[in-house]
Amino acid sequence: MYRTHSCGELRATNVNQTVTLAGWVQKVRNLGAMTFIDLRDRYGITQIVVEEHSDDETKAAAHQLGREYVIQVEGRVIERESKNPKMPTGDIEVVATKITILTASVTPPFTIEENSDGGDDLRMKYRYLDLRRPPLQRNMILRHRMAQEIRRFLDSEGFLEIETPYLIKSTPEGARDFVVPSRMNPNEFYALPQSPQTLKQLLMVAGYDRYFQIVRCFRDEDLRADRQPEFTQIDCEMAFIHQEDVLEIFERWARHMFKNVLDIEFAEPFRRMPWIEAMEKYGSDKPDLRFGMEFADITDLAHGHSFSVFDDAEYVVGFAATGCASYTRKQIDALTDYVKRPQVGAKGLVWIRVDGENTKSSIDKFFSQDDLRAIAERLGAKDGDLCLIMCGKKFKVLSQLCTLRLEVAEQLGLRDPKKFAPLWVIDFPMFEWDEETERFYAMHHPFTSPKPEDVCYLESDPGRVRANAYDFVCNGTEIGGGSIRIHDAQLQATIFKCLGFTPEKAQEQFGFLMNAFKFGAPPHGGLAFGFDRLCSLFGGVESIRDYIAFPKNNAGRDVMLDAPSTIDQAQLDELFLSLVKPE
Amino acid sequence: MYRTHSCGELRATNVNQTVTLAGWVQKVRNLGAMTFIDLRDRYGITQIVVEEHSDDETKAAAHQLGREYVIQVEGRVIERESKNPKMPTGDIEVVATKITILTASVTPPFTIEENSDGGDDLRMKYRYLDLRRPPLQRNMILRHRMAQEIRRFLDSEGFLEIETPYLIKSTPEGARDFVVPSRMNPNEFYALPQSPQTLKQLLMVAGYDRYFQIVRCFRDEDLRADRQPEFTQIDCEMAFIHQEDVLEIFERWARHMFKNVLDIEFAEPFRRMPWIEAMEKYGSDKPDLRFGMEFADITDLAHGHSFSVFDDAEYVVGFAATGCASYTRKQIDALTDYVKRPQVGAKGLVWIRVDGENTKSSIDKFFSQDDLRAIAERLGAKDGDLCLIMCGKKFKVLSQLCTLRLEVAEQLGLRDPKKFAPLWVIDFPMFEWDEETERFYAMHHPFTSPKPEDVCYLESDPGRVRANAYDFVCNGTEIGGGSIRIHDAQLQATIFKCLGFTPEKAQEQFGFLMNAFKFGAPPHGGLAFGFDRLCSLFGGVESIRDYIAFPKNNAGRDVMLDAPSTIDQAQLDELFLSLVKPE
């Protein structure tokens, strides 16, 4: 070892000990007679002193040092004259008797401190330097701890960690696959898994009734902000269970994580909310329940007052923004502008200021004070609240109002990252109608089991069928989701038919699964959690990129490695591929 | 839950309890009045009885059952009249009061028993059925336990589990990469990692001084028996350490694994053997030390006896096959045939039978009894042993003799899978000369540090340079290996030069790593273990395939999923690729 202690370890109890430290030079302060060096490793920072009467070699070495030099220091621990209570090692310093430069460093392109002066692109290119900063180190350590806790819990509950292959079969359904050309099977391709969904179902058929894996998944999608082409899932599946069993065990798992990682306990069971309630009350299937401001349908109260905007709308809905009656006209205009941005796309915003007897509104002309008070009451507004109302097509306006609710909450400081509001959203619809392609898509995935009582509508009214599907939501983010699966080959065939698969296409793509079901498939179900997302939730930082050691940028590039890159013609030849020039 | 207990759980203490079990029908025996059903899940088998006075529904259900039906059974636990001491549940049986068929099964294509009647290909195709068999279930459970123990140990030693990307940059050095075309960056490709080698070194530069990962690796090699295109490594790296520190901590790790998984303890420190000693004594850099039969160089004794075969050979070497003096002429001829097979490629085999006064040999004509006795003594032969001798170019004949030594040990039953002989092989040569391409290749990889005392030979005599590299070997198999890395950009450039890289090529392929080293790289090193191989070692079954849930066959195909497969023209178009017809 190059060291006897880490740079975060020494305390007053170590005074007078002879120690050896190794690490990076954070800072050098040359005070004429004395030189102070802040020496850093991932465990902390220790102050090194080179004294006036140190030998010449040590002084000479100290003079050469620059930021990020890697050095080894031998010395004696002494008590500091002026202690630094902000540093865990602040009671001591080490008087250097020998300094060895292990490797020099050129000047780094940005400061390696709690807050860096480097821009995003520069820090991505030199990710290995950015990773030296304490916030990223804390993130990596948090991720490590969470991974260990996840496994500890699931192992103790009898789940088996089983690795599934990364080179699998391409299935065009769902998102776009990354594909891998096979040299040994020319003109054929493997696909990288979007998730091990079908493989974990095969494990259930194989009798491994409790399975989990912390596993990489791949999706070749156009990247939105904070999406990565490769991401990590906590993937779980169980056999011989009902939906209630899955929710019970993974609620215990979530509590275990909150307790053991963040020391947070929840007195009450996690809330459960049917999908339709989440949509109608919060305009979202992943409502943020850290605060109230629930929606209410006021269509009946809004219609029939000669206000054509409302009269023409299918759905009129609003909520009471807590304590916002004091908003100025300018603030309200800003909210109106906010919802009119193309990203939200609303036509406008109606408001009612509830302030004692004096109820003011942007629709005073059409609604009497009593009418307005009735609306305010429906919205649960109290004195001092500001009712915000929008109208249009039901699910479209609900989604727009959701954006507004979150914006208002943000302004009110209600989205506290240290507060957690976990929730199960249940009873999802089985199918989603896509206007563009005029067909139904599986809302979850095509292996999701419909609720037995809704199976009768599968052919006649697919939109009405609810699924045994569930999402785990926290603070407005979907952290995980899953479903009870179909374990009957016949029902699976019916679902494929609803989704517009010909029997041939279904057989070609999922034949291996449907065939497996012929050999005795147990009832089974499970779920998967986004591990990157879970880390960012627990860490309280929005970007998942901060919890991934080597993330890709929004163009799917690793700018540090400079990947992807061109390959040799010889490699292409071996793979029986030729490039097509993009236009 | 569909069950109150597993099929491996019930004991005499449960007698008279009402229970519900669920699982697969292993066997149905219809004895007229009574029907016995063996119900199986991954925890065991429980005997179910349908009695003569059971209700008609239950009897009717029992009559429908076939092998691998999935059923749920409600019933009462009773003590068996004739107990089965071979089964953990053999003291009891469950009298069924209700049988529910959860899913039927068609007849499986092979028997699902401890030993199946299915051939390899059939079992690969129906892997999910093969995985139901107890031996494969034990293998998967062993793998799970080992993964948990690995992490438990490394976590307790302060190692951080950090995930590295799977979509990285292609580097033609080493084995062949699998590549992944990028849609967003047309005509460019990611590569799947052959190992996270450079990434873990960047983590050391980033200050994460103890890293590990259980990680998938990919190599597009022509598959030899028991090689997989994707395999799992236990990948580890440490900073501020010397070789001795790495060996110390991973010897403790190995002991932890042997103790906690197999309950085996080793009294002595693991043996350490320089590479040259392993080659000269066992003809292999991964010697099997479960038994002796060490080689000795007898060139000096062999030359000068007018036996031209020996006189013309650079190297004459042999070993004493323990207790084999009794081998018949026929047995010895078989050994000669064995080494003459093209896979071994030897010209012949010389033997000396050491049997009291009567020393017989195939070279009696050229060597006196005293000469033969001198050779036998050099080989450490005792009365009753058979000396086996070969000659030729030094390392070629050593390798041939190694094959013979293992064959003899196999015949003598010395390769007991329940016995373990761990070993560190150290002091590897830095480079390996390749006759075909007439250049040196890195024996380990190009980031391996030469021994400081050998650096002076780097340019003048590269073949003489030894590396700070080490392998962990057990029972004749390389389980892991690693090295102390170069952390100095200048030395790294010299090594690339020795390996025939131009500075431009080195910069293009490994620039990101050499650049990183400019910003203060700590001394570091590590190693990686083959996890599949480690499982097969611990499990005592030679094939790694038996420890992988969904392995590929020797053509790199997953015959269950039917992957790889063709993809749509639209997918190719999106990737700006066209197929070239193989000739």
CATH number, position B332: 3.30.1360.30
User: B165 phi and psi, to 5 degrees?
Assistant: -70, 155
- Per-residue model confidence as pLDDT tens digits over B264-284: 999 999 999 999 999 999 999
Q: Which of A112-116, A428-432, B436-440 has the lowest mean pLDDT?
A: B436-440
Specify the amino acid at residue B442: A
- The contacts of residue B87 (CB under 8 Å, 6+ apart) are B44, B45
Q: Which domain holds residue B73?
A: 12-103
Confidence (pLDDT) at A357: 78
Q: What is the CA radius of gyration of chain B?
A: 30
Report the SS3 class of residue A71: strand
Residues of A in contact with B70 (CB under 8 A): 520-522
Domain termination site, one of B415, B439, B460: B415
Tell me whether residues B520 and A148 touch, CB distance under 8 A.
no
H or E stretch covering B277: helix B275-282
Predicted confidence at residue A434, as pLDDT, reads: 82
- Contact yes or no for A558 and B168 at CB 8 A: yes
Cβ contacts (< 8 Å) between B516 and chain A: which residues? 128
For A549, which of B2, B163, B575 is closest by C-beta distance?
B163
d(CA A189, CA B557): 11
Query: B569 lies in a domain?
Result: no
The distance of Cα B357 from the centroid of its chain, to the nearest Å, equals 45
Q: What is the pLDDT of residue A279?
A: 97
- Cis, bond preceding B287 (omega within 30 deg of 0): no
Cβ of B207 within 8 Å of Cβ of A557? The answer is no
pLDDT at A442 over 90: no
Looking at the predicted structure, is the pLDDT value of residue A245 above 80? Answer: yes
Strand partners, B390: B317
For residue B452, the Cα-to-chain-centroid distance in whole angstroms is 32
Span B280-303, average pLDDT? 97
Q: How far apart are CA A2 and CA B241, in angstroms?
A: 6
How confident is the model over A407-434, as a mean pLDDT? 95
Q: Give domain status of residue B174, yes or no.
A: yes
Distance separating alpha carbons of residues B138 and A115, to the nearest angstrom: 51
**Cβ pair A519:B128 closer than 8 A:** yes
Question: From B25, which residue of chain A is nearest by alpha-carbon distance?
Answer: A520
Name the minimum distance, in Å, from the CA of B407 to any CA of chain A. Answer: 33
Say yes or no to pLDDT of A175 above 90.
Answer: no
CA distances from A313 to A29, A303, A367, A398, A444 (A): 69, 9, 17, 13, 30
User: Which chain B residues are closer than 8 Å to A161 by Cβ?
Assistant: 144, 147-148
What CATH number corresponds to the domain at position A52? 2.40.50.140
pLDDT score at B172: 66
Question: Residue B175 — very low, low, confident or very high, per pLDDT cuts 50/70/90?
Answer: confident
- Using CB atoms, pick whichever of A137, A144, A164 lies closest to residue B161: A144
Within 10 A of A342 (CB to CB), how many other CB atoms are there? 5
pLDDT average, residue stretch B178-207: 96
Q: Is the domain of A255 the same as that of A298?
A: no
DSSP letters, B87-115, are STTTTEEEEEEEEEEEE-BPPPSS--SSS
Q: Which pLDDT score, from 0 to 100, does residue B173 have?
A: 63
Q: Is residue A108 part of a domain?
A: no
Is residue A355's pLDDT more than 90? no
Looking at the domain assignment, is residue B560 inside a domain? no
Whether A193 maps to a domain, the answer reads yes
Residue B178 has pLDDT above 80, yes or no: yes
- If asked whether residues B310 and B233 sit together in one domain, one would say no
- Residues B574, A176: C-beta atoms closer than 8 Å: yes
Chain-chain contact of B561 with A166 (C-beta, under 8 angstroms)? no
Q: What is the pLDDT of residue B292?
A: 96
Domain for residue B114, yes or no?
A: no
Answer yes or no: do B251 and B156 share one domain. Answer: yes
B72, B101, B190: best mutation site toward chain A, by most A Cβ within 10 Å? B190
Measure in Å the smallest separation between the Cα of B412 and chain A Cα atoms. 37
Is residue A91 located within the same domain as residue A151? no
SS3 state at B342: coil
Choose from A189, A237, A246 for mutation: most chain B CBs within 10 A: A189
Q: Give the pLDDT score at B498.
A: 86
The pLDDT of residue B224 is above 80: no
Q: Which CA distances in Å does B304 have to A474, B308, B310, B367?
A: 85, 9, 8, 10
C-beta separation of B136 from B96 below 8 A: no
Q: What is the pLDDT of residue A346?
A: 94
Residues A528 and A428 in one domain: yes
Say whether A206 and B128 touch across the interface (CB within 8 A): yes
Q: Chain B: nearest CA to A467, how far in angstroms?
A: 19
Which pLDDT band holds residue B8 (cuts at 50, 70, 90)? very high
Per CB-CB distance under 8 Å, the chain A contacts of B492 are: none
In this structure, are residues B128 and A205 in contact, taking their beta carbons and an 8 Å threshold?
yes
Residues in chain A: 583
- The answer to whether the Cβ–Cβ distance between B187 and A555 falls below 8 Å is no
Are residues A38 and A90 located together in one domain of the fold?
yes
Model confidence pLDDT, tens digit, residues B534-551:
999 999 998 999 999 999
If asked whether residues B509 and B428 sit together in one domain, one would say: yes
Same domain for A212 and A182 = yes
Residues A370 and A429 in one domain: no
DSSP symbol at B6: -
Q: Are B2 and A523 a contacting pair at CB < 8 A?
A: yes
Note whether B381 and B429 are same-domain residues: no
A84, A103, A122 - which closes a domain = A103
Are B42 and B61 in a shared domain?
Answer: yes
What is the model's pLDDT at position B575?
A: 95
- pTM of the shown model: 0.96
pLDDT value of position B294: 98
- Name the domain boundary from B103, B128, B148: B103
Q: How far apart are CA B28 and CA B45, in angstroms?
A: 13
- 3-state secondary structure (DSSP) of residue A64: helix
pLDDT attached to residue A173: 63
* Per-residue model confidence as pLDDT tens digits over A501-560: 898 988 888 888 889 999 999 999 999 999 999 999 999 998 999 999 999 998 999 999
Look up residue B258 and give its DSSP letter: I
CB-CB under 8 Å, A163 with B523: no
Which one of A131, A188, A512 has the shortest CB-CB distance to B564? Answer: A188
Chain A nearest-CA residue for B241: A1
**Under an 8 A CB cutoff, do B184 and A578 touch?**
no
> For residue B542, what pLDDT is reported?
87
Nearest in space to B390 (alpha carbons), one of B399, B380, B377: B399
Same domain, A319 and A408: yes
Task: Flag whether B345 is in a domain.
Answer: yes
Determine if the peptide bond prior to A450 is cis (ω within 30°): no
Element (H, E) at B238: strand B230-239
As a whole number, the mean pLDDT across chain B is 95
Secondary structure class of A454 (helix, strand, coil): helix
pLDDT at residue A58, as a whole number: 94
| B4 found inside a domain | no
Q: Any idea which of A178-187, A222-231, B119-128, B478-487 has the lowest mean pLDDT?
A: A222-231
Do B105 and A519 count as a contact with CB atoms less than 8 A apart?
yes
Q: Which amino acid is at A182?
A: S
Q: How far is B465 from chain A (nearest CA, A)?
A: 23
Structural domains in chain A (count): 3
CATH classification at residue B509: 3.30.930.10
